Each structure stands twice: as structure tokens, then as C-alpha cells.
Chain A
Amino acid sequence: MNTSYNLDNEALTKILLLQNMIGQLPSERAVFEFVARGVSYLPGVAAVDFLLGNTGFENSPTPAALTYPVQMNNEIFGYVQLQLNDTALFEGYRAYIGNLCFMMAAVVQRFRRAEAERDRQLELERRVEQRTEELALQIVETQSAMNRLEEQKERLAVTLRSIEDGVITTDNKGRILSLNRAAEKFTGWRATDAIGLPLSRVYRLQLEDGNTGFTTAEAMTDSPELLSQGKLTDQDGHELIVSHLMSPIHDHNSQQVGLVVVFRDITRQMTMRDRLERIARLDSVGVLAGGIAHDFNNLLSGLFGYLEMAQNTSDIDEIRSLLNKTSSVYERAKNLTGQLLTFSRGGAPVLKTGNLEKVVRDAASFALSGANVSCEFDIAKDLWHVAFDEHQIAQVIDNIVINAKQAMAQSGRIQVTMRNTTMVARNHDTLPADEYVQISIQDFGQGIPDSIRSRIFDPFFTTRKEGSGLGLSTSHSIIQKHGGAIEVESRPSEGTTFHIFLRASNATPKSASVAPARFHVGSGTVLVLDDEAFLRDISSAMLKSMGYHAVCFSDGPEVLEYLHSLSDADRGKVVAGLFDLTIPGGSGGAEIVDALRQMLGDRFVAIAASGYSAGDVMSNPMEFGFTTSLPKPFRKKNLSDLLNKYLS
């Protein structure tokens, strides 16, 4: 018991402070160092040493030494060894130091535990870090794989978006899984709305054979692909002609998982094909019609030439009256052959540059005169000029407006719109990129049935008893020859619109010519070349009545031979020539005109005449050496007007 010892309060306070402070020290060693140094200042203590660990001191302690294990339960953390210089004086503190060492053990154990916990924590953190790295690597690899997959998907998506073919995929039940952009456009369905719907609801297809073209993936097992053509109706009811391919989709196990439908809008190609076929068809019919019209014109020229002569020579009123009536039939016959010629290759337009507005307004208004149909015009103020044949374009407008009027039965409204249009390369199937004036004539009648729409430009095709069937085919021909295009757009019960495109011209408009005097009188020699004797006869008579001496020939070389035979003085009297361009088996006017010019000079009036209205020469006679042209059949007045113009 320490009660028997004389203990110093100061020393006890020191021990107490040591006990208090060891908990604040940061390490085992610091605790041992601190306590060893502190205990060394206690009474009876000469020096203090310490050891960390449980191996103990190597040398046996001296009798004056006192060794304290720093121990908790059976675990020894170290030793504190005191060298005493006064054993008796220290004896009273022995138990206190034992207690201090026990407290040191508690602190050290706490350190050890904390260290073990720290090690465990570090190990845990190391494992977490290692696992995190592994996971990060896996994530990177997974991300990389996902990126590659995304790239592939994106490439596929971009490809699908970019191609102009519609692509729809479905599952095995025919429910839509995806639509590309083109498919959205063609069907009128947005992908977000269409996904999940049955294919047949979105992709409304009518094949040429009348089938819908749909099948489920299961049904396609035996026929992996179906290629066909049909009519697709979009969500708004518009129709497209599409080529259609349907194939099954297989997964990596060759299991059928759905369908892919690939379709392409071929409406434009089909329209163009129809148009080209129509042009070719009209061309071949035109050749035939032109041939007939030419011969028919010659016959009419003869027939009515004599008729006119008979009118002029007959003194019997009754006969003159009958002859006058016959003349009115002549006008109708002439108009018919004129239409045939216009429709045929022969009716090349005589182009003059100007504004179309007046021609269109006049023709439309004239066609509707007396009808209970109004016409509204919407015409751009700055309409470009066009090189056009006034009579032919008037004829086109007339034909279309009459058709429109008849489409509206009793009454209605026709809308005529004229606009400047710049066509880029892909705007039109047949027209080159350029500037055009577009004339649109719209009626609000019953529309043209699909079944006949492709045939409306065919010659002699008509749905009316009184129609000739030449109106639209002639219009088509005229516009073709103007280098333009004519198109029709029609919806049942809504009406029809004809669009005419005529190329804009930069040429300056020509001023209107002065009307010639009605009857011409002149003098001199006029050469007449024609293979038909009766036409030579009639022309000769007409010229004679106007004061000229007519010399007739049936072949070109005869003309030249005649001129060579003349003296210069007589040759100087030759003022004009009326030359048929087509001499079967011989040479017509075109072949001899240059030689004529050489002999007779520029003063000589060379007139090209043809019942064939032979395109280039008749349209642009001056380019071929002629002064002017005169289409057959012609009347005396027509010839008189020409001579009045050039020989007055």
C-alpha cells in the first residue's frame, strides 16, 4: 500500500499529467519517448529506457532496474525500463508507473486498432480503386463498343435518311418499327405516329394486279422478295406511282424477325415516259396528218381556185349564190386542214417577241363570249416577253378555254393566271433550266377521269359528239414547237388546270405591221412553179387579173433555163416568183432560189408556197433566200396582200 510511503504531490501531479497527455500524442513511439522522458524526472529515477515490440531487453536488467511491460491482456506492445538511483524513494511510485504503463498500452492498442482500421480502410480503398479502374476499363470498352454501335446505327440512320427510297420495317406481325424520311414524305405519316401501326394502314398500296401487296413475314417464308409496281395513296389521299420491294429480315440466327419494305416514287418517270410516248405517238400521227393535209390542200386550192374564178365570171345570181355558199364550206375545209397542218410537223410557228397578256386575254374572252362562264385573270405586271406565234397561241388558249367552259356545264368560273417562273434543272422532266412564262388555266368542273387523262392529247380523241378531237393535240403540238410544255393537273369533282410554259425571250418586241391595201395591181413578169397543173392555172389567172404576165413551170430547172434564155431587158421585167417547195421527183423552189437571186438580184420577190407549210422555210423564208412565204391553199386576196406589200 502506498500509504506507508512518503509521496511527493508534485511527482504525483507529473504522473497524472503524463497520463493525461499520452492520449494527445500522435504515435506509439512518441508516447514511449514522452513517458520515458517524463518518468525520468520522478524521484529515485536515474534514467529511463524503452523498447517497442515484445522482444524485451537483450541484457538482463540490473538489480536497480525496474522493467514495466506495456501490455494489454496478453499482448505486449513494449517495455519501459527504469534505472533507479534511490529504490526506496521510488518505491511509492511503482504502482503509479505500472498504472501509467497500462494506460500507455491502452493508447497503443488504440493506435494499433486505428492503424489496423486505417490499413483495412486503405486496403478497402485500394480494392475499390482497383475495382473502379477495372470497371472504368470495362465502361470505356463498353462505351467504345456502344460508340461503334452508335456510329454504325448513325451511319445506317443517315443512309436511310439520305436515300430517296422509302424504307419501312415491321415486326413479324406487320406492325411498323421504323420509317425513314422518304417514307414519311411518300406516305404522309410521321414516324412517331406510324410506329406500332399495322403496315397496311400507313402504306396504302394498290398493285397493278389489284392486290394490296401486303403480307406478313410468316407468309413470306417461301418467297423472300416481291418486286412490283403500284399506286400508293398517302394520308391526304394523293396518289403516287411506286416501285415496291418487300423482303424478310433475319436475325443472326437466321430467324425471320420482320419485313423491310423499300419503295420508290416513280411517278415522275412514269409521267415522263407517258409524255415521251405521247410525243412520239403524236409525231407519227402528225406525219400522216401532214401528208394528208398537204395533198388535201392542193386539191382544195384547185377546187376553190376554179370556184372563185367561176364566181367572178358567172352572171347568173342563183349560181353566184350557190357558189358563195360553197365558199363558206371552203373556209371550214381550210380550217380543218389548217389544224391538221398545225398539229403535224409542218405547222412551225412564226415567232414574234412580245407580251402574251393581250393574246391570252383576247383569246380567253373571245372563247367565252356568250357563255355563262366568267373568266378571272391574275396576271403578273412585269410579265416577261415571249417569242410566240400570235395565232397559234391564241388557238391554244381558245382550245383550252373552250374545253374548260364545256367541263362546267351551265355556268362557272375560269381562272387564268400568268406568272414568271424560273425553272431549275430538276423542276421539270423535259424543259431545260431557264426562265419561263407560265400560263395556268383552271376550271372548277368535274375534272378529267384518271382513265382517260393519258389520252387527252391524242389526235381525234374526244368525249364530245361535236368535237373534232384535234383541239388539245394541236395545242400540244403548238406548244412543243414553241419549245415549251403543256401539262394537265386534274382531280375528280374539283376541276382541271392546264399549265403552259413558254420560254422567256430577251429579244425586243417587233412593232405591228401596217395592214396592206386590199387589192393589188402591178405589172411585169411573175414566175409560177408548181407540179400541179391546175394550181399553175389558177395562180396564173390570179396574177393576170392583177396586171401581171405569169409564166408557169412544173420543175425548178425549167425556171432557170427560161431565165437564161431571156434577154437582159426581158429578164429585168421579171419582178416576182411563186414557188412550190415540194416537186415530187424534181426540184422545188428551195433548190433554185439561190440561182434565181444571182440572176435577178435582191429586187426579185421570191415567194415560197407550200400546202405542207414546210417548217423552216415557210416559217423563216428569208433565211433560205426567199422574200416571203404563202401557205396553201391561198386565195387571190392572200396573194394580192403579199404583192401589195412587196411590189407596191
Chain B
Amino acid sequence: MCSSHTMVNLGFAEAELPAGTHICQIYSDDRERDESLLRFLFAGLHDGERGACFSNDFSADVIEAYCDREGLDIMRLRERQALSVSDVSSVYFKDGVFNPDVMLGLLEAYHDKAKSDGFRAARVVGEMTAEVNDIQGGKRLLEYESRVSLLLRKKPVTAMCQYNAHAFDGAMIMEVLRVHPMMIVSGAVVRNPFFIQPEEYLKRCEYVV
């Protein structure tokens, strides 16, 4: 669970949750994915958080255009470097390898930089693509997600992971649920009853924490 005392709005309801919440969204159409992504990002940017987005479908220009339509001050966001947009491969699969350690290091650095830059919090939204099934290190996806939950306790970056139901089999989808404490169901953020604490999950995976 998240140990932060900073409360943040995730964009899906009035109620706030602690910064560092780790959420997953299982989606089956792109519109559902895009809507959740933008709501999540806008909520953080409105509240003075730093936001990062890993997506193959959105470029920085498009995200900025949406921000502008949302009423956000683009120039201000740029000045503060409040928003960064990257494609999935350049972040998750850099050099053709999925490396959880590198990813976790980046996430930690991202948190620390946001803090030092004076942001009240930081959030990240990323889509995990089917590419992970075939790439070197791809089998460590669930380990990575579980370790993210662990890291976020110390480095409370609010993270939303998006999974395309078409890209993974049903059992894998269930396993994804097992490593995310919160999830989005029917447009609402709910506690995930299938979640297993990372220590236990990693233990079952014979990963030494």
C-alpha cells in the first residue's frame, strides 16, 4: 500500500487517494483507454503535479492540444516541464530489452526530480503493449509490476498501467490484476480483491525482495 500522506485526485471521482497509488486498467477499446489516460493526466496537471505519458498513439503535440482544450496553460506546462510524452518502446523496451531494474530506476529518478523541481507530486500513465510477450525480459513483467508497488511506497509516484485485453490471454489478465492494488472498473477506481502484496507475490515467484 502507499505510505504517502499526499492525497491526489485520480480524475475518476471526487474522492482523493494517496499519492503513489498503483492502478491498472483493463480495456478493450481505444476510446476507453484514451479517455482514462487524459482524465488521469489532466487531474494531476491541474493540481500542479508533474505528469508523464508512455503511449504509441499520442504524440506530445496531440496531448498538448488536448491540454489546451482542457484549459491548461501550455506555455506554463512547458516552462515547468510539467508534461513529458514518450512512445512505449523508447521507455519500456529500450535497446530491445525489457529490464525491470532499469525501469524502476527511471521511476525513482522521475519521482526525485519532480520533488526537487517543486512539484507537489508526480504521476505516470503507460500502456503495456503486446510487444512485451515476445521481447527479451518480457516474462518479468509481473515481477516488475509487483516491484513497482513496492517502490511506490517509498517513492510515491501515482501510476496507472493500461492493458489491452486483446493483447493478452485471460489468465495473464488475471495475473495482472494480482499485482495492482487498485483497478478501474466501469469508469471507477476500486480496490482490487485479487491483489497480493508484493512481498508475497514476489516470494511466490521466488524473487528475493
A31 to B193, Cβ gap below 8 A?
no
B169 to A20, Cβ gap below 8 A?
no
B165 to A26, Cβ gap below 8 A?
yes
Residue A94 lies at the interface, judged by CB distance under 8 Å to chain B: no
Q: How many A-B residue pairs have CB under 8 A?
A: 51
Choose from B27, B192, B194 the contact partner of A24 (Cβ within 8 Å): B27
A66 and B28 alpha carbons, distance in the complex (Å)? 31
A33 to B169, Cβ gap below 8 A?
yes
A41 to B194, Cβ gap below 8 A?
yes
Residue B26 lies at the interface, judged by CB distance under 8 Å to chain A: yes
B166 to A24, Cβ gap below 8 A?
no
Chain-A contact segment, one of B86-94, B96-104, B114-122, B170-178: B170-178
Least Cβ–Cβ distance between A18 and chain B, in angstroms: 9
Choose from B166, B169, B175, B185 the contact partner of A21 (Cβ within 8 Å): B185
A14 to B165, Cβ gap below 8 A?
no
Closest A residue, CB atoms, query B168: A30
Which of B116-136 touch A at CB < 8 Å? none
Interface size of B by CB at 8 A reads: 17
A25 to B28, Cβ gap below 8 A?
yes
Tell whether A29 pairs with B170 under 8 Å between CB atoms, given A10-B193, A17-B193, A21-B26: yes
B194 to A26, Cβ gap below 8 A?
no
Choose from B173, B177, B186, B193 the contact partner of A13 (Cβ within 8 Å): B193
- Measured between beta carbons, the chain B residues less than 8 angstroms from A25 are 28, 165, 170, 173
Closest A residue, CB atoms, query B164: A26
B193 to A33, Cβ gap below 8 A?
no
A437 and B177 alpha carbons, distance in the complex (Å)? 110
A34 to B193, Cβ gap below 8 A?
no
A33 to B170, Cβ gap below 8 A?
yes
B193 to A26, Cβ gap below 8 A?
no
A37 and B142 alpha carbons, distance in the complex (Å)? 15
- Measured between beta carbons, the chain B residues less than 8 angstroms from A14 are 193-194
B185 to A30, Cβ gap below 8 A?
no
Closest A residue, CB atoms, query B32: A24
Bitwise, B65-86 to A at CB < 8 A (1) or not (0) is 0000000000000000000000
A34 to B170, Cβ gap below 8 A?
yes
A37 to B185, Cβ gap below 8 A?
no
Bitwise, A15-46 to B at CB < 8 A (1) or not (0) is 00100110011100111111111100100000
B173 to A34, Cβ gap below 8 A?
yes
14 A-B contacts (beta carbon < 8 Å): A17-B193, A24-B165, A26-B28, A30-B169, A31-B170, A32-B170, A33-B169, A33-B173, A34-B174, A36-B171, A37-B171, A37-B174, A38-B194, A41-B194
B residues near A (Cβ < 8 Å) are 26-28, 165-166, 169-171, 173-175, 177, 185-186, 192-194
Please name 19 further chain A to chain B contacts, defined as beta carbons within 8 Å, in addition to the given A26-B166, A35-B170, sorted by A numbering.
A14-B194, A17-B185, A17-B192, A24-B26, A24-B165, A25-B28, A26-B28, A29-B169, A29-B170, A30-B165, A30-B173, A31-B170, A33-B169, A33-B171, A33-B174, A34-B174, A37-B170, A37-B171, A41-B194
**Among all A-B residue pairs, the 9 with the closest Cβ atoms:** A33-B170, A34-B170, A30-B170, A37-B174, A13-B193, A37-B171, A33-B171, A14-B193, A26-B166
